[in-house]
Amino acid sequence: MIRQIAAALAAALVFAAQALADESPEPAAAEPGAGFPAPLERSRIGYGRLFTNDFLGDGKDRWRTGSVVSSRVWGYGWDGAAPAAFGDLLELRVMGQIIAPAKLSAPDPGDRPWAGMLSAGLHSHMQRGSAEYALGAGLVATGPQTQLDGFQDWLHDLLSAPKPSDAVLAAQIPDRVRPLLTAEAAQTLDLGAGASLRPFAEVRAGDETLLRAGADLTFGSAGRDALQVRDPVTGQRYRAVQGSRQGVSFTIGGDMAYVADSVYLPESRGYRLTPRRDRLRAGLSWQGEGASAFYGLTWLGREFEGQAESQLTGSLRLNLRF
């Protein structure tokens, strides 16, 4: 059943990509300022990153304990909105994540296994009128091959923090490489007085097979003309292409997901997924002439039946240009 759902999602992504490509206007017919002119060469136009750790939230070290995501964007320029054509604006996104039981040395029976994950994917961002789309494909690797177990051991030794025991690492999610497919559709609604609402829907197939829907409410103009992409763990959006609008903006949002399958909580080991996976978040963003900063808090609901409680993570990004 899970393979059928994943296959259906993959087919839907391919069909959507083909449909968007077929509907794209010819470059020669594009009006000035509406998209990217064909004579220009593609170049790197943006870079973004986001660091997330539960120590920055509830001060603990457990479950979705830490991740780093980074994006590099290539295109024919940037005028405050993504182009209409599929493939004109490309984002290379790489990510590393560590998932751990609540107690690294002696976890409670039934707590989730330790997992290390590395992923890389290519995403195309498009905009048709007020509708925004993102389609992506890549690979996700898990297990000791990621060497994230050794990294956490080194880092916790440096910080004099508890390290994962040999038994915990021996039971970690094993080595495997899987294809990864993602898609998101959204629409930004201008509410006036500097406020906007952005409902969205997302599908993901690969390490986790899920369907998610939610919305983000933003107050303030900072970042309104930037390309913002969504962090897979928290749902926080971070800037991958900088805009020109300076100031402060505040965002609150949330979403819920139906998760059909997760390699991080294998059914073969007796784990039972929660019927619904919820997230609530808030973030404060500032952009000046030569620098920008972001800090966000995200509440993550329980992901499996044996999880004792929810958790709170913090996300941080600093961009200083000298």
Q: Is residue 22 part of a domain?
A: yes
Q: Is residue 263 part of a domain?
A: yes
Q: Is residue 304 part of a domain?
A: yes
The region of weakest confidence among 77-81, 141-145, 222-226 is: 222-226
Q: What is the pLDDT of residue 322?
A: 54
Residue 49 structural domain: 2-30+42-320
Q: How far is CA 181 from CA 50, 84, 120, 136, in A?
A: 21, 21, 11, 6
Q: What is the pLDDT of residue 9?
A: 44
Q: What is the pLDDT of residue 10?
A: 45
Q: What is the pLDDT of residue 243?
A: 86
Which region holds residue 147: left if phi is over 0, alpha if psi is between -120 and 50, else beta? Answer: left
Would you place residue 11 in the very low, low, confident or very high pLDDT band (cuts 50, 70, 90)? very low
- How many domains does the chain fold into? 1
Please answer whether residues 218 and 196 qualify as being in contact, where contact means their C-beta atoms are separated by less than 8 angstroms.
yes
Would you place residue 5 in the very low, low, confident or very high pLDDT band (cuts 50, 70, 90)? very low
Domain holding 155: CATH number? 2.40.128.140
Residue with tokens 């494909």: 137
Q: Is residue 37 part of a domain?
A: no
Q: Is residue 36 part of a domain?
A: no
When pLDDT is averaged across residues 105-122 and rounded to a whole number, the result is 95
When pLDDT is averaged across residues 2-8 and rounded to a whole number, the result is 43
Q: Is residue 35 part of a domain?
A: no
- Which amino acid, 246? Q
pLDDT, tens only, 246-275: 899 999 999 999 999 999 999 999 999 999
pLDDT at 192 over 50: yes
Q: Is residue 225 part of a domain?
A: yes
Q: What is the pLDDT of residue 167?
A: 94
Q: Is residue 67 part of a domain?
A: yes
DSSP-assigned beta bridge partners for residue 68: 51, 96
Return mean pLDDT, the chain: 88
- Quick one: tokens of 319? 């961009």
